[in-house]
Structure 1
Amino acid sequence: MDDDGVDKPLRKISAAFKELSVAVSSDGDGDVDVEVAPFSRACSLVSPLFGCLGIAFKFAEMDYVAKVDDLSEASKSIVTLQALLNHDVEENSVKRAGSHSRNLLRVKRGLDMVRVLFEQILVSDGNSLRDPASKAYAEVFAPYHGWAIRKAVAAGMYALPTKAQLLKKLNEDEASAKTYMEDYVVTSAPLIKYVDKLFLSRELGIDW
């Protein structure tokens, strides 16, 4: 809760990702260790956003929450994201269903979807979220989903809240929401690239 006793998820997300982005950008070579615990904490703050988007993103909310919970559990025994990936490489379990590495890749996609959604909301006029949400889904999730899920999501887009309804759920006005959305777009980008780099530098790929 914030000082006025009202839950304001966007503010919490903005603050958490600013902290993480400082860690990522503090090393010019990008050879930096991001800790699993603060990463999973920041990711958990994003979870309510999927819930606010309604039935179209129900699949994403359930999947994302479960995988963030797994990373949070992993943080009790694994300190950094690099160590987490190295552990799975050694165990030959990176691409195994339920592995921490696989879950990290799925969580990263959730962060990326929200980044694209916010980008699209910031440049769109009007009160409808259908176009921003459709573009975010098409760019980040659709390539990995079968026909049935894509069809269900397309149908769910008609039940999205309006932008005004979303801001009301998030307890923000247009001006404050714009600030925090811009913050997230800027601070999440280097973190998303960092996670991609962890996989790509080990020649594991990111499209699976």
Structure 2
Amino acid sequence: MAHEGPEFLPRLTAAFVELGTRDVLETREFADACVTVLPIFNYLGSVFLIARNEFSSKNNTVTVKNSPGRNLHRLMNSILFISLIFQNLANGQAMKEAVAESYERSLAPMHTWVVRAGIKTGMMALPTREDFLRALGETESSALTHMQAFVKATERVVQEIARLYQGVTMPRSDFTFSWWQ
């Protein structure tokens, strides 16, 4: 797995710190910040490549006129997922526990049981904490600084988007196999 080098976490964090300082959350700026999130899914292993592809496709619809709000909701939950992983890692959790807990709190509620089961099974192949940080080009101390800043920066962004969905129950993902139809 190619690593992004020591500039990945600083670039990711800076994008959301900048976004979090704005009085108004602009769509283009939000979409640009979301692009910086994509590489993180590569480091979480193959089970999250589907999430990466979905995140990318949802991000591409954010700037399209009249695009569905469901995609924005998915992007928000994906950012929350990464933020929770970083928060858990900063609190000393092992990689598998950090990702599993983050998944349950952010993405699992919108997935069907088939998707949840597949992801939980795939989590067995997650990299270790050390391998994850090494792939990011970070040490424990350098990663901690960026992770904490990312968590703080995304808090406001997630809150602003979540406010749009107050009182709205979002549907679970629809999951079908074409050969079953």
Instruction: Please indicate, yes or no, whether the TM-score normalized by the shorter chain is above 0.5.
Output: yes
Unmatched tracts of structure 1, length 5 or more: 25-32, 79-87, 89-98
Tell me the equivalent position of 2:9.
10
Q: Which amino acid aligns with 1:8?
A: E
TM-fit CA distance, 1:50: 1.0
Structure with larger Rg: 1
How well do the aligned residues superpose, as a CA RMSD in angstroms?
Answer: 1.8
Tell me the equivalent position of 1:81.
none
Tell me the equivalent position of 2:80.
112
| Counterpart-to-counterpart distance in 1, 2:109 and 2:145 | 30
Tell me the equivalent position of 2:177.
none
Report which stretch shifted further, 167-176 or 188-197: 167-176
Tell me the equivalent position of 1:139.
105
Tell me the equivalent position of 1:37.
28
TM-score w.r.t. the length of structure 2 is 0.85
TM-score w.r.t. the length of structure 1 is 0.75
Q: Which has the higher contact order (CA 8 A, sep 6+)?
A: 2
1:207 to 159, 170, 175: 170
| Counterpart-to-counterpart distance in 1, 2:169 and 2:137 | 35
2:40 to 34, 41, 49: 49
1:178 to 133, 138, 144: 144
| Counterpart-to-counterpart distance in 1, 2:33 and 2:169 | 21
Tell me the equivalent position of 2:176.
none
Identity %: 27
| Counterpart-to-counterpart distance in 1, 2:124 and 2:72 | 30
Q: Can you list the C-alpha shifts for 1:103-137, whole angstroms capped at 9, x where unaligned?
A: 11110010000111111111125xx4110000011
| Counterpart-to-counterpart distance in 1, 2:108 and 2:69 | 21
Tell me the equivalent position of 1:168.
134
TM-fit CA distance, 1:35: 1.2
TM-fit CA distance, 1:7: 5.9
TM-fit CA distance, 1:191: 0.6
Instruction: Give the ranges of 4+ consecutive aligned residues of structure 1 lying more than 6 Å apart after TM superposition.
Output: none
Any conservation in 1 of the 2:6–2:138 contact (CA below 8 Å)? Answer: no
Tell me the equivalent position of 1:91.
none
Q: Can you list the C-alpha shifts for 1:87-106, whole angstroms capped at 9, x where unaligned?
A: x4xxxxxxxxxx34221111
| Counterpart-to-counterpart distance in 2, 1:7 and 1:181 | 13
Unmatched tracts of structure 2, length 5 or more: 172-181
